[in-house]
Copies of this chain bind each other. A is one copy, B any other.
Amino acid sequence: MTEEMMELVNGQVFGVWFLIGAALVFWMQAGFAMVEAGFTRAKNAGNIIMKNLMDFCIGTVMFILIGFSLLLGEDLLGFIGRPGFDIFTGYADFDWPNFVFNLVFCATTATIVSGAMAERTKFLSYCIYSAVISALIYPIEAHWIWGGGWLAQMGFHDFAGSCAIHMTGGICALIGAKILGPRIGKFTKDAHGKITKVNAFPGHSIPIGALGVFILWLGWYGFNGAAATSIEQLGSIFVTTTIAPAVATVVCMAFTWIKYGKPDVSMCLNASLAGLVAITAPCDVTDAFGAIAIGAAAGLLVVFGVWFLDNKLRVDDPVGAVAVHCLNGIWGTLAVGLFATDTAPGYAIADASGNTLTGLFYGGGFTLLGMQFVGFAAVAAWTIITITISFLLIKALVGLRASEEEEIIGLDVTEHGLASAYSGFSIMDVSNTMAMEINQNTSLGTEDYEAASEVQKNAAISVAKVLTPAAAGMYKVVIIAKLSRYDHLRKAMNALGVTGMTVTQVMGCGIQRGAGEKYRGIEIDATLLPKVKVEVVVSKIPVEDVIDTAKKALYTGHIGDGKIFVYNVGKVVKIRTGEEDFAALQDVE
């Protein structure tokens, strides 16, 4: 009787914990929103948050209509659950906790993709993608694994979703980012179209991104632990779910320190997530050693993945979603076959005849590993096929990518009429700007002013003195331009031979056209528009060329494209050489 009572007790205790776990997984939506916002540019922050919010909300609607029954309905041939509307017709006997729990898992799968496709995807297209994955792609493969489908029947083990959630989301992320193409400026190409350089686009708020990682880590205790059914099992899951990401982060720190010279903050934050993804499938079947090994590999895999996408696949994944979720999702799925050990409490992996199966490194041979591989391959194939069709259909029907103008200006204002997610702050996109082309060693040999020669002193600090304004030959050109034309302008100036400019963010205040954006239903008067002020001083380069080039670079056909002021700055004494010539203007900034 005590046995029976304990079962009742555990039913109550772990029933409530199951729902608490679901709430923690819901909380991961906030984590994804913060990670993705923090690791992308400020001009798209509102858009990425909106995508993260809407994939949960649209996903909920789709999950009610079709997804839930495809996942957990009565099994049909091992492939899908029977579609139905029990949630409406049989609410009194509905499986409420499982609905919520599976819904938040589904939403996690969907939201992974937004990061990889950030900063250039049309909002409408993202909404459609989000509906498709929540309605069909995820529920069907999850049915195979968790809904009594063929993989479940075979003995495939994916406790909390390295395969069902993360790999699936990660594959969608990879294919989506590939079909979309890279953000403007991500890859520099030479005249033959060959990529000569990968450019970094630093995230606009590391603290917000880091907060997102902490949120996700917290949520993961629910993600991995919610389905536990004993204190022992839950405790062990907490242990492995803590060790793997911690080790992954330490390994990544050491590796980036050695390889890149400094410990990389955002990569280490990614490594924590990588460790969490990798331990997700095996969290209930590994011991401490397994968790350490799985985490260590994850910490390296994420660095490799980021490098591989940038340098080999040439896929632009702004937040590292593919390296984190796809690669480590695969790794975690296979790791079950390597590290599963029956010293883990509540261990229950067995073949159809009930024989316990353990991992390769724990003497279990290749059987379990083989089953894990089959599961990985089947789900990967399903996901690749369905998501490719989905994205190509969306592309054909409504288009997948925002226009160049929208991308440069930012999706916040173009997609949502949100002038800035940080109203009142001066923000400038410093990422898609490439180096001017000449390089030189700038050290002058001494850091001690007194010991420096006059030539060294003057070379370090150039002084342009305007003695009398009457003399000719030297001009300061001040250009007020739209932010979105800055990159054109910079390139055009560089092509002309200009080697340095001073750039200031200013606000243009003036009469505006009537068609303003709406913020909460109220038209915004964009009377203080962010602009950029570029100052160039030229002498050898004809000032008329500078003006013509600037006009061409800024022109879009609207009054207000820009303003150019030219100042005759007269005679100049370059103190560097003591001479009165103009050559010194070839200085670097």
Contacts and interface: CB of A to CB of B under 8 A. Distances in A.
B268 A510 contact: no
22 contacts: A11-B231, A15-B231, A33-B211, A41-B424, A49-B206, A96-B238, A199-B522, A202-B418, A202-B420, A204-B422, A207-B208, A307-B521, A430-B528, A435-B525, A435-B527, A439-B512, A444-B559, A461-B561, A469-B568, A480-B502, A511-B589, A531-B589
A558 B588 CA distance: 11
B445 A521 contact: no
Interface stretch (A143-151, A241-249, A377-385): A241-249
Given A91-B287, A95-B235, A442-B513, 6 more contacts: A53-B268, A91-B343, A265-B412, A306-B521, A436-B512, A500-B510
A210 B345 CA distance: 40
Interface string A55-68: 01111110010000
B423 A426 contact: no
A560 to B, nearest CB: 5
Interface string A137-176: 0000000000000000000000000000000000000000
A343 B92 contact: yes
A12 B442 CA distance: 68
A215 B211 CA distance: 11
B343 A54 contact: no
A189 interface: no
A567 interface: yes
Interface in A328-362: 341, 343-345
Given A27-B214, A214-B33, A53 B269 contact: yes
A463 B566 contact: yes
A236 interface: yes
B242 A60 contact: yes
A460 B463 CA distance: 33
Interface in A236-265: 236, 238-239, 242-243, 245-247, 249-250, 253, 256, 259-265
A179 interface: no
Interface string A12-23: 111111011011
A581 interface: no
B202 A419 contact: yes
B509 A589 contact: yes
Interface string A99-140: 110010000000000000000000100000000000000000
Contacts of A449: 552, 555
Contacts of A272: 53, 57
A423 B431 contact: yes
Nearest to A557: B447
Contacts of A522: 198-200, 310
A243 B528 CA distance: 40
B511 A34 contact: no
Contact of A416 (B42, B265, B420, B457): B265
Contacts of A54: 249-250, 253, 268
A26 interface: yes
A527 B444 contact: no
A57 to B, nearest CB: 4
Contact of A231 (B12, B29, B268): B12
Contacts of A533: 502, 504
Nearest to A286: B91
A509 B551 CA distance: 20
A239 B99 CA distance: 7
A59 to B, nearest CB: 8
A533 B589 CA distance: 13
Interface stretch (A2-10, A70-78, A389-397): A2-10
Contacts of A513: 439-442
A187 to B, nearest CB: 11
Interface in A250-299: 250, 253, 256, 259-270, 272, 287-289, 292
A325 to B, nearest CB: 16
A417 interface: yes
A451 B438 CA distance: 34
Contact of A564 (B20, B463, B499, B564): B463
A54 B251 CA distance: 11
